[in-house]
Structure 1
Amino acid sequence: MNSLIENSLPNSFSYTEYRNHVSQLLLEGLSTGDTQSEDLFNYSTLNEVRMNRLDKTINVPQEIKDRLADLKKQYIFLVISEGWCGDAAQIVPVMNKIVGETENLELKLVLRDENLALMDEFLTNGARSIPKLILVDKGTHTLRGSWGPRPHGALKLILDYKEKFGVIDQEAKTELQKWYLQDKGLSTMEEIVTLLENAENM
């Protein structure tokens, strides 16, 4: 596992580099990933707008800031993502805001389709679901936990919808985006900070 993590880090993006990479591909009519389609391009374009909005509007509550200030160790958020992923568009900007609150955290992003060996170590019910946060000890590059692809409330919404209708359709995706809008990143912050606190006690 350590070697997979260490091999992924040199090929990772900072948040700004990731955003710039996705934006440049969009200018060329492309999305990230091995598969190209009109749908993926359109999702990526929509996600660009969402992320721009979230960069401006997401606020970290004082209670979360206080808990981050208590961190003693240093960690890397190694995050597996893609530009077309709707969940990633809602969550990665929140992760960036968390990292911005303390010098003990660093955010590194890698693209799923270029890092399948790493992705396959962090499957969700057998699927390559993203975004996936891999919590890494900065000094040793040791795995300290993982999180994703979405907060518990969002996961419950999708599971309940699938149980009721048997499929995840466009309406389900719309309801999911509404959930993220109302939640304002708070569930993601709470769950990730709890992950960090658990890592502190390892």
Structure 2
Amino acid sequence: MNLKTSSKPSVINEVHWENGLTYDEYQQLIDSLLKINQTTGNNHSEKQLAYTRLNVQRMNKWDKITKLSADLIESAEKIDSSQKWLILTEAWCGDAAQNLPAIQKIADLNDKIEVRYLLRDENLDVMDAYLTNGGRSIPKLIILDVEFNELANWGPRPAPAQQILKDYKKNESVNYDEFSVNLHTWYAKDKGKTLQSEFTLLLSGLS
């Protein structure tokens, strides 16, 4: 996790926002691309398509079963000024599929929060302002006020999941497939609890 709260001008502007997709539009885009054997971005290999199909299943699952904690609901409902939540993502990204359904459910708790989804590779000007350890890691949430000043950001994954990635990069004996299994097993066991704790803390600083 990279969670930061601040108040400063951002690189994001009205054009980025207007180009963003709603959650439903993002899901519809993925479905329409898969029908023609494509995904978001320029890599339409079978491996990327397989990741994307799996991610659709993950998102559908979390859309159905995610239940938000009472503390998180309280923190979200206390927000009393309009916010714009811009999320950088791609259809093939496993971390995005694991986290976006819960983030959207959090935003849906308060009608002062609007959410838009931007494809990372089509918006590198934004992505490169929000690197994680020098990498273009997603998903990345940037919380803005109505004048596009940054209030906070979160991403690309909860802290324990980020630690799994760090450990993988240090351990040359673990291959990518093993890392991926470890990561997504953690998500399955955690059931979004860590993300919810992190967002409870983040939003309590914004109300």
TM-score w.r.t. the length of structure 2 is 0.90
Q: 1:198 to 1:26 in 2, by over 3 A?
A: same
State whether residues 142 and 150 of structure 2, in contact with CA within 8 Å, keep that contact through their aligned partners in structure 1: yes
Q: 2:105: which partner in 1? A: 97
| Equivalent position of 2:56 in the other structure | 48
Paired AA for residue 87 in structure 1: D
Residue 16 of structure 2 aligns to which amino acid in structure 1?
A: S
- Structure 2: distance between partners of 1:3 and 1:87: 24
Of 158, 181, 186, which aligns to 2:193? 186
Report how many residues are paired: 199
Q: Partner of 2:4 in structure 1?
A: none
CA contact (8 A) 1:158 1:168 kept: no
**Partner secondary structure for residue 77 of structure 1:** strand
Higher helix share: 1
Please report how far the alpha carbon of residue 184 of structure 1 lies from its aligned counterpart in structure 2 after TM superposition.
1.2
For residue 60 of structure 1, report the CA deviation from its aligned partner: 0.6
Q: Percent identity?
A: 36
Separation in 1 of the partners of 2:101 and 2:175?
Answer: 24
Structure 2 residue 131 is matched with structure 1 residue 134: no
Q: Is the 8 A contact 2:37 2:44 kept in 1?
A: no
More divergent stretch after superposition (169-178 vs 180-189): 180-189
- Report the RMSD for the aligned CA atoms in angstroms: 1.6
Unaligned runs of 5+ in 2: 1-8
Query: Residue type of the partner of 1:37?
Result: S
Which sections of structure 1, spanning at least 5 residues, go unmatched? none
Matching residue of 1:176: 183
What are the superposed Cα offsets for residues 109-164 of structure 1, whole Å, 9 maximum, x if unpaired?
A: 00001111011100111111100001111x22211121100010111122123323
Q: State the Cα distance separating 1:77 from its structure 2 match.
A: 1.3
> Where does structure 1 differ by over 4 angstroms across 4 or more consecutive aligned residues?
none
Partner of 1:122: 130
Greater length-normalized contact order (CA 8 Å, ≥ 6 residues apart): 2
Distance, in Å, in 1 between the alignment partners of 2:45 and 2:78 is: 45
Question: Displacement, 1:187?
Answer: 1.4
Give yes or no for the alignment of 1:149 onto 2:156: yes
Of 164, 167, 174, the residue aligned with 1:160 is 167
Aligned to 2:24: 16
8 Å CA contact 1:135–1:143 kept in 2: the answer is yes
